[in-house]
């Protein structure tokens, strides 16, 4: 089964074709970062309009790269939420119309389920540590909008173990970057800067780790950075030192809670997904933590940690293969629990 996947929930237009026999056939991504940069964040109306401009050309490009004609497609999967309502509607409208014209099924995909399943696309048989993870496992979802620990009992059977009570981890990276004067989107830049910081120059708390539970809170950490930056000499080295201490605090906190979640779920396999999963220090720390207990951590390749069409095509393919069918109405769900 060959499934076209469409992602338009925020500021990236993502398209891919996933073939349940041959794997990922092609994928293409258009990022709107430059469009929103001057506003310091995503402007919803501009995002919708840009998806309208870019989606059809990207679909054509992806099909051409996959070597397939449009009528080779057996199904269409699209992100139906959570996300920006106007942006979601662009993907949903195009997906439903295309599916109707081709007389194939279309399926609505939950954006976070897409992230959660992305590591399962990676199937490097040459390396036992990189082979496809099989449920049960614990998933850490860390994106700009979500920070969740989920017990995955089976594909489609998820139990929420813990989540953030305020800012998501990616949001904390972005806001912290912004308050130290880094341009939007600051998360990856803050992470790059942290690499030049000196160990031990600053230290921030590991929020909510000294009491039981699997929930997170990152907004206090941001305030700690604000105070440290305000009272500092504001040199480039200090900015890097603070970035390093902030990154260490977030990574440590995530690692402590992940270990607790593995204990609670009785699992040794951790799957990490979402934009913050691209963070090198987090990848190293979680890999070491699970290795020390005889388990492993599975990540998507960094390009599939952040938003992309491939994860939506893959999640949709699994649902269509399982027989899921929907009527032709164009529905989106801007706020949606997984």
Q: Of the listed pieces 118-126, 177-185, 233-241, 303-311, which binds Zn ion according to CB under 5 A?
A: 303-311
Question: Which segments of the chain does DSSP mark as H helices, in order?
Answer: 33-37, 44-66, 85-102, 111-117, 169-179, 186-194, 219-230, 236-265, 280-292, 310-321
Would you say 141 is a known binding-site residue? yes
Shortest distance, position 317 Cβ to ligand KG4, whole Å: 20
Cα torsion through 45, 61, 334, 106, rounded to 10: 140
Which residues 6+ apart lie within 8 Å of 22 measured at CB? none
Residues 4 and 312: their CA atoms lie apart, in Å, by 9
Cα torsion through 211, 212, 217, 223, rounded to 10: 10
128-136, long-range: CB within 8 Å, 24+ apart, which pairs? 129/296, 130/298, 133/269, 133/271, 133/296, 133/298, 136/265, 136/267, 136/269
> What is the phi/psi pair of residue 10, to 5°?
-140, -110
Would you say 210 is a known binding-site residue? no
Q: Which is nearer to Zn ion, 12 or 19 (CB)?
A: 12
Shortest distance, position 338 Cβ to ligand KG4, whole Å: 13
Shortest distance, position 156 Cβ to ligand KG4, whole Å: 20
Would you say 308 is a known binding-site residue? no
Q: Which of 253, 307, 311, 319 binds Zn ion (CB under 5 A)?
A: 307
Would you say 115 is a known binding-site residue? yes
Shortest distance, position 159 Cβ to Zn ion, whole Å: 21
Binding site for ligand KG4 (CB under 6 A): 143-145, 170-171, 173-174, 185, 187-188, 191, 274-276, 278-279, 306-307
Would you say 144 is a known binding-site residue? yes
Q: Of the listed pieces 182-190, 233-241, 305-313, 322-330, which binds Zn ion according to CB under 5 A?
A: 305-313
75 binds, among Zn ion, ligand KG4, none (CB under 5 to 8 A by kind): none
78 binds, among ligand KG4, Zn ion, none (CB under 5 to 8 A by kind): none
Quickly list DSSP for 215-236: -B--HHHHHHHHHHHHTS---H
Q: Which is nearer to Zn ion, 265 or 276 (CB)?
A: 276
Q: Which of 13, 32, 79, 143 binds Zn ion (CB under 5 A)?
A: 143
Please report whether residue 308 would count as binding Zn ion according to CB under 5 A: no
Of all residues in the shown chain, the one whose CB is closest to ligand KG4 is 187
Residues 308 and 64: their CA atoms lie apart, in Å, by 18
Question: How distant, in Å, are the alpha carbons of 90, 151, 245, 246, 286 from that of 193?
Answer: 36, 33, 11, 11, 21
Would you say 187 is a known binding-site residue? yes
Q: Which is nearer to ligand KG4, 305 or 317 (CB)?
A: 305
Angle at 297 between CA 293 and CA 300, to 5 degrees: 175
Would you say 145 is a known binding-site residue? yes
Q: Which is nearer to ligand KG4, 49 or 283 (CB)?
A: 283
Residues 149 and 313: their CA atoms lie apart, in Å, by 23
Binding residues for Fe cation: 111, 115, 307
Binding residues for substrate: 141-145, 174, 187, 279
Binding residues: 111, 115, 141-145, 174, 187, 279, 307
């Amino acid at each position: 089964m060959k499934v076209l996947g469409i992602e338009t929930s925020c500021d990236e237009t993502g398209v891919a074709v996933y073939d349940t026999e041959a794997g990922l056939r092609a994928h293409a991504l258009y990022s709107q970062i430059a469009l929103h940069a001057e506003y310091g964040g995503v402007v919803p109306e501009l995002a919708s309009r840009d998806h309208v401009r870019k989606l059809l050309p990207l679909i054509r490009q992806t099909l051409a790269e996959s070597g397939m004609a449009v009528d080779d497609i057996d199904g269409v999967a699209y992100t139906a939420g959570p996300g920006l309502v106007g942006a979601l509607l662009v993907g949903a409208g195009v997906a439903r119309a295309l599916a109707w014209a081709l007389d194939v099924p279309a399926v609505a995909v939950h954006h976070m389920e897409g992230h959660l399943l992305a590591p399962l696309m990676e199937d490097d048989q040459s390396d036992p540590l990189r082979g496809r993870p099989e449920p049960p496992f614990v998933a850490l979802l860390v994106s700009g909008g979500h920070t969740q620990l989920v017990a995955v009992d089976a594909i489609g059977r998820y139990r929420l173990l813990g989540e953030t009570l305020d800012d998501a981890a990616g949001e904390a990276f972005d806001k912290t970057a912004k308050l130290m004067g880094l341009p939007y989107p600051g998360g990856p830049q803050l992470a790059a800067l942290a690499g030049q910081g000196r160990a031990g120059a600053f230290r921030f708390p590991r929020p909510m780790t000294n009491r039981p539970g699997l929930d997170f809170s990152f907004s206090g950490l941001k305030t700690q950075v604000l105070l440290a930056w305000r009272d500092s000499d504001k040199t480039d080295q200090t900015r890097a030192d603070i970035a390093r201490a902030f990154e260490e605090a977030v990574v440590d906190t995530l690692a402590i809670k992940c270990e607790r979640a593995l204990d609670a779920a009785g699992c040794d396999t951790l799957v990490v997904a979402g934009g913050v999963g691209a963070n090198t220090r987090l990848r190293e720390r979680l890999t070491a933590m699970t290795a020390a207990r005889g388990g492993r951590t599975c990540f998507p390749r960094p390009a599939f940690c952040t938003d992309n069409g491939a994860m939506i095509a893959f999640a949709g393919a699994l649902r269509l293969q399982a027989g899921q069918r929907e009527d032709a109405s164009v529905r989106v769900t801007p706020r949606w629990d997984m």
